Structure 1
Amino acid sequence: MLKVSKKEMIVGGSKTHYFISPLIMDNVSLQSCPATNPSMLNVHLVPHTHDDVGWLKTVDQYYYGDRNYIQHAGVQYILDSVIDQLQKDPARRFIYVETAFFYRWWRQQSQDTRRIVTQLVNEGRLEFINGGWCMSDEATTHYSAVIDQMTLGLRFLNDTFGECGRPLVAWHIDPFGHAREHASIFAQMGYDGFFFGRLDYQDKARRMKTKEMEMLWRASESLTPPLADLFTGVLPNGYNPPEGFCWDQSCNDAPIRDDPDLEDYNVDEIVQRFLNVSYNQAAFYKTNHIIMTMGSDFQYENANLWYKNMDKLIKYVNALQAKGSKVNVLYSTPSCYLQELNLANLTWPLKTDDFFPYADDAHDFWTGYFTSRPALKLYERLSNSRLQTCNQLEVLGGPKSTSGPFGEGDSDTMSKAMGVAQHHDAVSGTEKQHVAYDYARRLATGWAHCEVLVRNSLAVLSGSESPRVFCENLNISVCPLTESSQKVLYFSMNVYNPLGRTVSWPVRLPVNGSLYNVTDSNGKAVDSQVGNYVFMSFKHICNIYDMKSSSLLPLLSVRWFYVSINSKSILVYVFKFLKVNFDDTTGLLSSLTNLETNQTIRLTQNFYWYNASAGNNKESHQTSGAYIFRPNSSDPFVINKTAEIQTVTVSSTVQEVTQWFSPWVSQVVRLYEGHRELELEWTVGPVPIADGLGKEVITRLDTDIESSDYFYTDSNGREVLERRKDYRPTWDLKQTEPIAGNYYPINSRAYIKDDKHQLTVVTDRSQGASSIYNGSLEIMLHRRLLYDDFRGVGEPLSEPGEFFDGLVARGRLLLALTPPKMAADVHRPLAQGMVLQPLLSFQDGTPLANTKLEFSGLQAALPPAVHLLTLSQWDKDSVLIRLEHQYQAKESETHSQPVTKLFSTLEVLGASEMSLGANQWKEDMNRLQWNTGSQLFISLTFEQIITLNPMEIRTFLLRVRQL
């Protein structure tokens, strides 16, 4: 029965009412579950379609059914057909996952169709599962972007269908391995369970034998159980129907021919085969309930085929119950199936690690995609940073941000583009080339909309509507305004810091002169240096301006700097935190010293490439491709045993050494004054393939740290997991690929350590990493391959370049050497700063006299452990905010401090806490409880003084008024 749910928000000692959505209903999905038979084996048929948000075709092509010569798929027809068929029998069920597609379809429907769909949702016959904008990848996505895309999809479902549209189950049937942080996110969003399809073949064999295909996943070492506990099930057939029972137009299985007068009448045969399949499957599960996924990629375009045959299957299998059969078949959904498992009240096995790496056969490890398409991976990461900045400035700038002096801007376009980019065939790099271009185009279009918003907001905050430009090509040292500065004598740079703390951020700009003077908004001189920079193999000399902005970027702030031509000379300065040595003979790094802690390690760094398998190995015909990493040898080829030192720069702001390894590999090693990390800016490409060999390019750091086959990687940029060479915590591993089988995804950092030293590497994008040797850490940077790996994409991973024959990739690694107990205080802020980078914009000349030169959105810095994860406009009068504790329980003893008034431009009228997905009030969350053999209790209370425990994220809806 419909009811309106109100949320009371405390406002100055009195209460006011605030609506989360126009209509809220009791969730009827579970109430409408079909009856089961406790004395029988209940087979839950789950009709579903898996609709990739881009893969072999673009999002648009998939939706409209275009270019069917690539793949026959048309999502709009799937939804049309399913809705039509659901109306014909109230017993029928269907689940849908990808909100990005459903959102588009919904907007095109008539009011009559919308009423029909709403009724189907209210009756539990059409159920939304997962509910994010897409089914995200789990290896190469950052947790902040995952939370955003989930929130985007869940909000649409909540606003459209109320409580009945809220998904109860997470559904990741296609991602290629599963991250612990994803499970933690789903649990905190209020999901009751999680089902997936892909599992390492060795792990699956063991679990089938021990009936551990379903388990409780404890997805955090820091959050008090059961906050991050999530019931998790492995689907028996991936996400396909059992063999012989596929009745889509894309299938070749025989339909049920139930006319007894027919010569090829096959009801008895099909029913018996189904009974055999059901009993065989039940042997691997613990209850008298099993689930069957009746559907696959882009199926149900003609839903009548599926439903007509499933109707018959249910009818004829259940008819045998009168003759003593103990099998009961029913239309169902994952949430109904999960409810039955919960009612069984069994004790479930506990899982505490993750599901990486994933292999589907002895020599088929899906670890290549951790690095595939490195440029797209970086662009997605930078786009995430830009989206957070866009969201924040929309809040801080007020209504004029979206409709101001520079036109109409919005953050929605970028949010949707980023949502699509999280798909498991997007940022993963496992799509066709033309689809990769489309993902990048969407991100560029999204930023174009955000750019208008940012210009409007900065105009409001500064009081100046002077034209402002963004230099989009700084990664290749191109910025027309700064390079033409000799003509205008002055230019000003505006820096926006999206972090809730003060940061020191080095800025590098191309300029056209050799002598410059830099001052901040107070007229104080800023140390700067101009030098020559050899641009890899292009031998193009760029003059680079380095600005050390220590303590000049306040939290959530805007600040101006001015640059003008000057004749000031540069002094040499000796830095106090780090010391770097190079070998005089080889030109390679030889040691790294932390001068604060008086620690020195031997450190050699070089570049190598693994020869990618062409599939002609006698053990297996598996090739390396977009998904699969399979070198044909455990020993990589060194690109050059020596590095030519091309330039050395020493100044008061930066010391740098440019190394040249080959015509396609170079690197700049930088040490900034006041920084505790060493920067390695690598440039790799175009990877040569004229020799007929595909190449997997790595950089390897070899040290004298006694790491003893252990290394550590982050999970989606958040908690860190311990890894061990040739080992899995869950089963006795039979290692068949000594390199690929030891690769793991890293989103922000990896490290090795012993009792005294820890070397941490912070990355600027998602990559694959491993520790093959004691004291060694290797990171895969680039891949160029000559063969497809037979996982569906149908083309080799050989990206073209814009100017050259092949893609040139450039990136940064930050190295930090610390004692292990001090490491987190260094690498977590470094990783956070790499994800949320300051935004630069430029103006000719100096700002006008009435321009406000400084602005800060926070009255005080957040405590060191607290990160402002989300600040975005929710609607006209409310703002969504997420605060997170960024340390694990064992990393730091720092606790968050009470946070009161946060925003200098906003008056907070009231606050109410929500689930992590922002589609439920926190106090209304009521998840299923599971038995693991131990008693766990937790008490949740809402406090006006915000307290954050390690790894906790708290989400609030603030009712605000612009000051």
Structure 2
Amino acid sequence: MASRRAASSAVAAVLSLLQLGVLCFPARQFHASEPPCGYKSCPGTQPSMLNVHLVPHTHDDVGWLKTVDQYYYGDRNDIQHAGVQYILDSVVEQLQKDPARRFIYVETGFFYRWWRQQDQAMRHIVTQLVDEGRLEFINGGWCMSDEAATHYTAVIDQMTLGLRFLNETFGECGRPRVAWHIDPFGHAREHASIFAQMGYDGLFFGRLDYQDKARRMKTKEMEMLWRASDSLTPPMADLFTGVLPNGYNPPDGFCWDQLCNDAPIRDDPQLEDFNVDDIVKRFLNVAHAQSEVYKTTHIIMTMGSDFQYENANLWYKNLDKLIHYVNAKQSNGSKVNLLYSTPSCYLQELHNANTTWPLKTDDFFPYADDAHDFWTGYFTSRPALKRYERLSNSRLQTCNQLEVLGGRRSRKGLFGEGGSDSMREAMAVAQHHDAVSGTEKQHVAFDYAKRLAAGWGPCQVLVSNSLAALSGSDAPRVYCENLNISVCPLTESSPKFTMNVYNPLGHAVMWPVRLPVNGTAYGVFDAKGSPVDSVVLPVYQASREVRGHKGYAINELVFQVQAPPLGFTTYSISLLQNGPPPTPLENKAPLSIQNKFLKVTFDPDTYLLSSLSNLETKQTIKLSQNFYWYNASAGNNAESRQPSGAYIFRPNSSTPFIISKMIKVDSVKNAVLQEVRQWFGPWVTQVVRLYKDSRQLELEWTVGPVPVGDGLGKEVITRFDTNIRTSGLFYTDSNGREVLERRRDYRPTWDLKQTEPIAGNYYPINSRAYIKDKDNQLTVVTDRSQGGSSIADGSLEIMLHRRLLYDDVRGVGEPLSEPGEDGQGGLVARGTLLLALTPPEKAADLHRPLAQSVVLQPLLSFQQGAPQSSSQLEFSGLHAALPPAVHLLTLSQWDRESVLIRLEHQYQAKESKSFSEPVTVNLQKLFSTLEIVGATEMSLGANQWKDQMTRLDWKTSSGEQPQRQSPSDPSPWDVTLNPMEIRTFLLRVMQH
């Protein structure tokens, strides 16, 4: 199969082909005998007829009601009858019987597993089917990702993983042309932008708001051009987008899977129950009705559904008959033509129609399938899993980077899918729309977390190897998984230890560290031997309760670290025998806490926050904060019987219950930090922290176990109420990148009839949200994906936790009531929110890098004793920090000689006076340990050379047809990035 590889194995054969120092990789050559895959393989249509594109497909969730393994093998059919391996077996067998038949497959993670189990004869058959366009890969990611709770970094990674396998296995014929997101519950603009930059020609999905769909059907706007960026020059982020007519199911009455109950086509005229005429008549009625709401003489029908085609003969036998008998009516004047097709072939016909399309510039959130059924609960469902996924993403990026920086020594002792491979696959699976979304069964959620933990194991070995190679210290290295609850056996028991801080960002970072200890005073020294201000505090009572018997530290050692860009620094920590005692806590709240940047005041009666001031800009806002819970609907409302569940958020009332109006507090002030520890009740606590050199306020919240003994499910929020004049507007990010304006009780695309004033105004927050007026902007940076809204002017609320007592009847079949660690009680969730107050025109300069530092956190590792005398205590993988506007999105080993990098302009156009301008980076001057001898630009998905990437052009209803622009780099090595642009390069490197 080596001759089929386009972007990986071909690299080694052409590394000597250098022109102007830039790698030039030849494309796979097409000859007269080249397989007619892609658009060339599409069947003919009838221009004077209504062409019905029948698309045989299966939707195979990478975990949902069963685990990934159970779905693949067909295990636990008592939960759900589904076995992916049998689907692929059966489909391949049936495709061989008739060259007209087509099938599309989506989830590369499942196909990869199946492919590895096939012999060469079967692989040859499948390759021929792919070459002839009869088996077509659509979407191509490892999974079909969620769009609300995913971060763009992880989305790009999981797409790249799937696309690379298809490219290396099937070459150009394995490259998907169409994105296929038929099941996610709302659609993010950033996803569309990513697909466009990966070279896709179109996107089809199945779910959109019921009001939006009704309007689009009336106006024939079920298909459109989605302009998915305000910053990228059209058509860079333009993507043709179509709404499928039946979600992703067949039309009613035409399902012929073994899981279906519809009658087969009985075409023996001698039979009493001969039904061909009836089926043809009903099908023609369905086709004509569908054509009334679409714009061209082509319509698409999805002939398949969840885990269908395990016995593909049932489907194909009936579809063959349907096509035959419906088309036979053409001799009697019928103008309907049926054909086996694919989404790509359907898209090509829409393009050939040469018509204009409506333009969309907002997104498809929130999604509702009925008046009281808003799918906005899953923005927060399973908050601990959401946090673990985000933390795992940071670890994966660190693992990838250190594999490159440490060179071959980093993989010492690792074989097969060691190192970053297993972590990469675990993270890819976690992006699935029933994984990080929190909409899976409990045992499946445990399996996702288990996979992430198992993936980190080999990565830990790789990271340790790399740090040993770069530092010269091979002493055993320990990673503490539970620092957030004050657990780390090494720091708790060691009188002397070393801490390594690795920073995965391309900019230097300052980061607070809190280490569990049992001593009362410690000396902390940086890599230069200079003392570092530190303080010892008693462990927070809530941390003691959460950790249980995992740890026994009575104190925390707190200090701030500074780490170089893409590198590490080392701190030495020693117990002092005659040091000062820990800073005592005071059982009262101070009137205020402040550093040189911020001042926070507290109400003297309630001890709650009362104001926030930026001392640099002389801004002050009123700011009160508290915790509340919405009473989750049990499905017994007068308006609707819809309960709140894993997917759906439906409060019984628009007014939440306050958890406490008066709180208990402890507080402490010292040279390192000031903090107020707030106790709102037995299941809600918070620490308000202000570090010495911080421009943001940290709020560490702990919620749970959420009590349900009163028979009420609870949706727990924190709410910030200010005097900022918001006029119904607030702002949320899209998958961690561009920010979208939201308006309460409003949709940009249609006249909204608001039926759920709370749930209908909730939006996903991936990394930040803010409210602002002309003078002030309050930004909240989150440490995971959460749902949030501004229900009243000047207010911003974020949902932190959910514990519910009823299933919401969307398939998961169990209430969202996560158990505690002992399998009883309920889940305790802990996290942080960072608050920043700035003038609106300066806000992005702070919250963009702040959000990136939360997403890609420093990795701490520990060694017993003092540093080895020969150790290198500080290292940076960059010659210099990247420009402020530039983010190193990807640095990973591609093959033995090549490295994949992505450089990203992290500011939107006009967002920052300082940084929303083009910026140029020299590739050869980036890395301190790598000599770059060649570079070739690729698509965002890294499965095409950029200069060979072509996409279909589309005209909007305004007649606009943007012209594509080539990058204007000043030299082969100098790369210019415009606002929000991501550029991907395959580098040939030599290790220093």
**2:74 & 2:28 partners in 1: Cα distance?**
34
TM-fit CA distance, 1:899: 2.3
After superposition, the Cα gap between the structure-2 partners of 1:78 and 1:812, relative to the gap in structure 1 and judged at 3 Å, is same
**1:758 & 1:244 partners in 2: Cα distance?**
54
Structure 2 residue 849 is matched with structure 1 residue 829:
yes
TM-fit CA distance, 1:21: 8.4
One of 504, 510, 528 as aligned partner of 1:522: 528
Structure 2 residue 958 is matched with structure 1 residue 927:
no
Match of 1:761 in 2: 780
**1:604 & 1:593 partners in 2: Cα distance?**
13
Match of 2:927 in 1: 903
Match of 2:467 in 1: 458
Match of 1:952 in 2: 981
Match of 1:816 in 2: 836
Identity value in percent: 75
TM-fit CA distance, 1:542: 3.7
**1:920 & 1:643 partners in 2: Cα distance?**
58
After superposition, residues 764-913 of structure 1 pair within 5 angstroms as 764-803=783-822, 805-893=825-913, 894=915, 895=917, 896-900=919-923, 901-913=925-937
Match of 2:964 in 1: 938
After superposition, the Cα gap between the structure-2 partners of 1:174 and 1:917, relative to the gap in structure 1 and judged at 3 Å, is same
After superposition, the Cα gap between the structure-2 partners of 1:72 and 1:23, relative to the gap in structure 1 and judged at 3 Å, is farther
SS class of match (2:190): helix
SS class of match (1:138): coil
The answer (yes or no) to whether the contact 1:626–1:788 under 8 Å persists in 2 is yes
After superposition, residues 56-71 of structure 1 pair within 5 angstroms as 56-71=65-80
Amino acid corresponding to residue 513 of structure 1 in structure 2: G
After superposition, residues 499-518 of structure 1 pair within 5 angstroms as 499-518=505-524
SS class of match (2:41): coil
Structure 2 residue 744 is matched with structure 1 residue 725:
yes
Structure 2 residue 563 is matched with structure 1 residue 553:
yes
**2:213 & 2:476 partners in 1: Cα distance?**
59
Query: Greater CA deviation, 287-296 or 650-659?
Result: 650-659
TM-fit CA distance, 1:898: 2.7
After superposition, residues 142-291 of structure 1 pair within 5 angstroms as 142-291=151-300
Query: Greater CA deviation, 556-565 or 304-313?
Result: 556-565
Match of 1:602 in 2: 622
Q: Deviations over 1:251-307 (max 9, x none)?
A: 000000000000000000000000000000000000000000000000000000000
Q: Deviations over 1:567-610 (max 9, x none)?
A: 45599996200000011100100000000000000000000000
**1:723 & 1:574 partners in 2: Cα distance?**
32
Q: Deviations over 1:652-675 (max 9, x none)?
A: 111100000000000000001111
The answer (yes or no) to whether the contact 2:374–2:759 under 8 Å persists in 1 is yes
The answer (yes or no) to whether the contact 2:380–2:799 under 8 Å persists in 1 is yes
TM-fit CA distance, 1:935: 3.5
**1:391 & 1:576 partners in 2: Cα distance?**
37
SS class of match (1:729): coil
Amino acid corresponding to residue 695 of structure 1 in structure 2: K
TM-fit CA distance, 1:565: 1.5
The answer (yes or no) to whether the contact 2:23–2:936 under 8 Å persists in 1 is no
After superposition, the Cα gap between the structure-2 partners of 1:3 and 1:362, relative to the gap in structure 1 and judged at 3 Å, is closer
After superposition, the Cα gap between the structure-2 partners of 1:774 and 1:767, relative to the gap in structure 1 and judged at 3 Å, is same
SS class of match (1:506): strand
**1:77 & 1:341 partners in 2: Cα distance?**
34
**2:543 & 2:118 partners in 1: Cα distance?**
55
Amino acid corresponding to residue 236 of structure 2 in structure 1: L
The answer (yes or no) to whether the contact 1:913–1:942 under 8 Å persists in 2 is no
Query: Greater CA deviation, 937-946 or 375-384?
Result: 937-946
After superposition, the Cα gap between the structure-2 partners of 1:792 and 1:702, relative to the gap in structure 1 and judged at 3 Å, is same
TM-fit CA distance, 1:941: 3.4
Q: Deviations over 1:25-44 (max 9, x none)?
A: 77722101000000000000
The answer (yes or no) to whether the contact 1:514–1:530 under 8 Å persists in 2 is yes
Match of 2:588 in 1: none
**1:3 & 1:772 partners in 2: Cα distance?**
55
Match of 1:714 in 2: 733
Amino acid corresponding to residue 824 of structure 1 in structure 2: A
Amino acid corresponding to residue 316 of structure 1 in structure 2: Y
The answer (yes or no) to whether the contact 2:158–2:428 under 8 Å persists in 1 is yes
SS class of match (1:293): strand
After superposition, the Cα gap between the structure-2 partners of 1:85 and 1:691, relative to the gap in structure 1 and judged at 3 Å, is same
The answer (yes or no) to whether the contact 1:762–1:815 under 8 Å persists in 2 is yes
Match of 1:531 in 2: 537
TM-fit CA distance, 1:130: 0.1
**2:480 & 2:36 partners in 1: Cα distance?**
49
The answer (yes or no) to whether the contact 1:880–1:957 under 8 Å persists in 2 is yes
After superposition, the Cα gap between the structure-2 partners of 1:750 and 1:531, relative to the gap in structure 1 and judged at 3 Å, is same
**2:308 & 2:839 partners in 1: Cα distance?**
55
**2:390 & 2:433 partners in 1: Cα distance?**
15
The answer (yes or no) to whether the contact 1:660–1:666 under 8 Å persists in 2 is yes
**2:19 & 2:949 partners in 1: Cα distance?**
26
After superposition, residues 483-632 of structure 1 pair within 5 angstroms as 483-485=492-494, 489-536=495-542, 542-549=554-561, 552-566=562-576, 567-569=578-580, 575-632=595-652
The answer (yes or no) to whether the contact 1:406–1:455 under 8 Å persists in 2 is no
TM-fit CA distance, 1:17: 5.4
Structure 2: stretches of 5+ with no match in the other structure:
585-592
SS class of match (1:425): coil
After superposition, the Cα gap between the structure-2 partners of 1:412 and 1:280, relative to the gap in structure 1 and judged at 3 Å, is same
TM-fit CA distance, 1:902: 1.3
SS class of match (1:284): coil
The answer (yes or no) to whether the contact 1:21–1:158 under 8 Å persists in 2 is no
CA-based RMSD of the aligned residues comes to 1.9
Q: Deviations over 1:197-220 (max 9, x none)?
A: 001000000000000000000000
Q: Deviations over 1:909-946 (max 9, x none)?
A: 10000000000000011100000111422321363210
Q: Deviations over 1:824-853 (max 9, x none)?
A: 001111100000000000000012111111
Structure-1-length-normalised TM-score = 0.97
**1:671 & 1:231 partners in 2: Cα distance?**
47
Q: Deviations over 1:112-139 (max 9, x none)?
A: 0000000000000000000000000000
Match of 2:587 in 1: none
**1:196 & 1:865 partners in 2: Cα distance?**
34
After superposition, the Cα gap between the structure-2 partners of 1:508 and 1:708, relative to the gap in structure 1 and judged at 3 Å, is same
Query: Greater CA deviation, 840-849 or 236-245?
Result: 840-849
**2:609 & 2:289 partners in 1: Cα distance?**
59
TM-fit CA distance, 1:535: 2.7
SS class of match (1:369): helix
Match of 2:20 in 1: 13
Amino acid corresponding to residue 989 of structure 2 in structure 1: V
One of 733, 743, 747 as aligned partner of 2:762: 743
Structure 1: stretches of 5+ with no match in the other structure:
none
The answer (yes or no) to whether the contact 1:667–1:680 under 8 Å persists in 2 is yes
**2:647 & 2:417 partners in 1: Cα distance?**
41
**2:404 & 2:49 partners in 1: Cα distance?**
57
**2:522 & 2:498 partners in 1: Cα distance?**
13
After superposition, residues 127-146 of structure 1 pair within 5 angstroms as 127-146=136-155
After superposition, the Cα gap between the structure-2 partners of 1:286 and 1:574, relative to the gap in structure 1 and judged at 3 Å, is closer
Match of 2:363 in 1: 354
SS class of match (2:40): coil
Structure-2-length-normalised TM-score = 0.95
